[in-house]
């Protein structure tokens, strides 16, 4: 009897172990989510390109993958030698304080961004009745490759392939002073005498581009913005409108995520705010909002998620009010998850032969034109940092080996040129100052 019981137990245990092993083997056959960090140099150790003059910023000069964009400033904070006495690489003036690249074991922060828009506005409130831009400073990185720029990271899969897109950032407001009353009379410039919350604000923002990066799409390169607000001096928690807005600066749509969707903490308290959010459902919602509104497909032509990727990321200040403000940042991360076996990324190689030898002069350019030199040039495309084509010239075969291109209408910054020759394509970066 005992032997029978033992035999039954043996057979039961053997069957159980076999079933478990079979289960494990079947699980191995199911591809797990592939996980990729999309951001390169998450701690800003390698310095920056300055988009206005093409200089490389660092202590010492490094090999940057980030750009820093300083818009509508009276004086650039980067027109001087950096200070390393803080243990960081620091560029500072009466207008801005920009620090990065501290010791490897630094725990306090990876990036320090301070702004003084009161000085930028010369102690006057921005007026609604005159055209007046506002100062901004952003750090930015192209995350997915295009035909005009390669990247060091893996690039984002198309949105249709993604299971999740997890963004993390730790941010802390160190200081903010909002000025509410006018102390300098200036009736001639028609400046308002008092603060207006509809016109005046200090915002620390994170924005991503949702970009058509299917090279076979007729709407290749088109973008919209997906953003979240880390700090706004008007709101402890930024409300969500669940609507799209129009950005006049880049001529495209924007969608902003409500604060309650990514954090229960307010940056107004002066503590670290730990933001952790899956961007994927919001990216899908934002695109759907644009598709439903823009029925003529004038902005985003494609309505296929399989055409879109996360193109790039911007982090920084926009200040329309009179503010003195500082935010520090650390632990920036953007992780893409997919159960696809392959990422399906296109990397466009330079197929041009060396004898084509296309060049651009002057570079950097302080003139209203640049000259492309090379043999057998057929077409020239100039693309801005958003991946948008801003100049296109074709049928160039009859113009000889030099082609002058008018860039007077372009803003200062980094541009990428793609030159088509009989032998292939050449890609050249140039700067307009």
Dump pLDDT digits (tens) for 60-91.
777 899 999 988 888 788 887 889 887 889 99
Q: Please give the mean pLDDT across all residues of the chain.
A: 81
In the predicted model, what is the mean pLDDT of residues 186-213? 80
Of 7 and 290, the structure prediction assigns the larger pLDDT to: 290
Q: Name every residue whose Cβ is closer than 8 Å to that of residue 404 and which is 6 or more positions away in sequence.
A: 369, 370, 371
Nearest to 248 by CA among 293, 299, 208: 299
Whether residue 168 has pLDDT greater than 60? yes
- Phi, psi (deg, nearest 5) at residue 201: -165, 160
pLDDT at 140 over 70: yes
pLDDT at 382: 87
Residue for token pair 């930028």: 120
Identify the architecture of domain 36-338 in CATH. Sandwich (2.60)
pLDDT tens digits for range 300-314: 888 999 999 999 999
Would the pLDDT of 347 be above 90?
no
Q: Where in the chain is the domain with CATH 2.60.40.1930?
A: 354-432
* Highest-scoring range by mean pLDDT, 321-335, 358-372, 410-424: 321-335
pLDDT band at residue 195 under the 50/70/90 scheme: confident
Which pLDDT does position 387 carry in this prediction?
A: 63
Which part of the chain has CATH 2.60.120? 36-338
Say what the pLDDT of residue 152 is: 83
Determine the average pLDDT of the residues in 318-332: 94
The CATH fold assigned to 354-432 is Immunoglobulin-like (2.60.40)
According to DSSP, the residues that pair with 315 across neighbouring strands are 139, 206
Q: What percent of the chain has pLDDT over 70?
A: 82
Reported confidence tier of residue 356, pLDDT bands at 50, 70, 90 = very low
C-alpha–C-alpha distance, residues 380 and 420, integer Å: 6
Nearest to 307 by CA among 212, 165, 208: 212
Q: 44-58, 318-332, 383-397: which has the minimum mean pLDDT? A: 383-397
Q: Which has more confidence, 219 or 317?
A: 317
Choose from 10-14, 249-253, 306-310, 416-420 the range with maximum mean pLDDT: 306-310
pLDDT of residue 411: 82
Mean pLDDT of 270-295: 95
Cβ neighbors of 170 (< 8 A, separation 6 or more) are 272, 273, 274, 275, 329, 330, 331
pLDDT surpassing 50 at residue 28: no
When pLDDT is averaged across residues 289-304 and rounded to a whole number, the result is 88
Residues 6+ away with beta carbon under 8 Å from 251: none
């Amino acid at each position: 009897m005992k032997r029978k019981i033992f035999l039954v137990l043996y057979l039961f245990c053997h069957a159980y172990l076999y079933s478990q092993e079979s289960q494990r083997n079947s699980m191995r056959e199911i591809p797990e989510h592939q996980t990729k960090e999309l951001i390169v140099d998450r701690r800003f150790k390698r310095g920056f390109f300055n988009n206005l003059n093409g200089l490389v910023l660092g202590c010492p000069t490094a090999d940057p993958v980030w750009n820093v964009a300083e818009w509508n400033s009276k004086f650039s904070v980067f027109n001087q030698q950096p200070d390393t006495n803080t243990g960081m690489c620091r560029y500072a003036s009466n207008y801005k304080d920009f620090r990065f690249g501290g010791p490897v074991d630094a725990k306090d922060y990876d990036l320090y961004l301070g702004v003084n828009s009161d000085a930028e506005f010369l102690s006057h409130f921005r007026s609604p009745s005159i055209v007046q831009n506002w100062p901004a400073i952003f750090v930015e990185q192209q995350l997915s490759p295009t035909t005009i720029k390669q990247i060091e990271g893996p690039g984002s899969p198309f949105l249709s392939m993604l299971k999740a897109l997890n963004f993390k950032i730790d941010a802390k407001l160190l200081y903010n002073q909002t000025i509410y009353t006018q102390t300098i009379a200036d009736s001639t410039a028609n400046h308002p005498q008092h603060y207006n919350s509809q016109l005046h604000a200090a915002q620390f923002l994170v924005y991503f581009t949702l970009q058509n990066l299917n090279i076979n799409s007729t709407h290749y390169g088109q973008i919209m913005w997906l953003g979240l607000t880390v700090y706004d001096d008007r709101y402890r928690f930024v409300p969500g409108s669940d609507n799209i807005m129009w950005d006049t600066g880049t001529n495209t749509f924007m969608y902003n995520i409500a604060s309650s969707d990514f954090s229960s903490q307010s940056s107004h308290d002066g503590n670290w705010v730990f933001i952790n959010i899956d961007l994927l459902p919001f990216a899908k919602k934002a695109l759907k909002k644009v598709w439903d509104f823009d029925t003529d497909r004038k902005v985003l032509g494609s309505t296929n998620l399989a055409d879109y990727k996360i193109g790039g990321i911007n982090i920084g200040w926009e200040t329309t009010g009179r503010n003195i403000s500082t935010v520090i940042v650390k632990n920036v991360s953007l992780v893409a998850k997919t159960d696809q076996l392959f990422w399906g990324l296109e990397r466009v190689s330079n197929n041009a032969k060396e004898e084509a030898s296309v060049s651009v002069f002057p570079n950097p350019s302080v003139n209203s034109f640049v000259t492309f030199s090379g043999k057998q040039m057929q077409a020239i495309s100039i693309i801005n940092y958003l991946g948008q084509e801003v100049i296109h010239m074709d049928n160039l075969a009859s113009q000889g080996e030099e082609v002058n291109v008018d860039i007077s209408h372009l803003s200062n910054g980094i541009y990428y040129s793609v030159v088509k020759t009989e032998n292939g394509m050449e890609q050249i970066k140039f700067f307009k100052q």
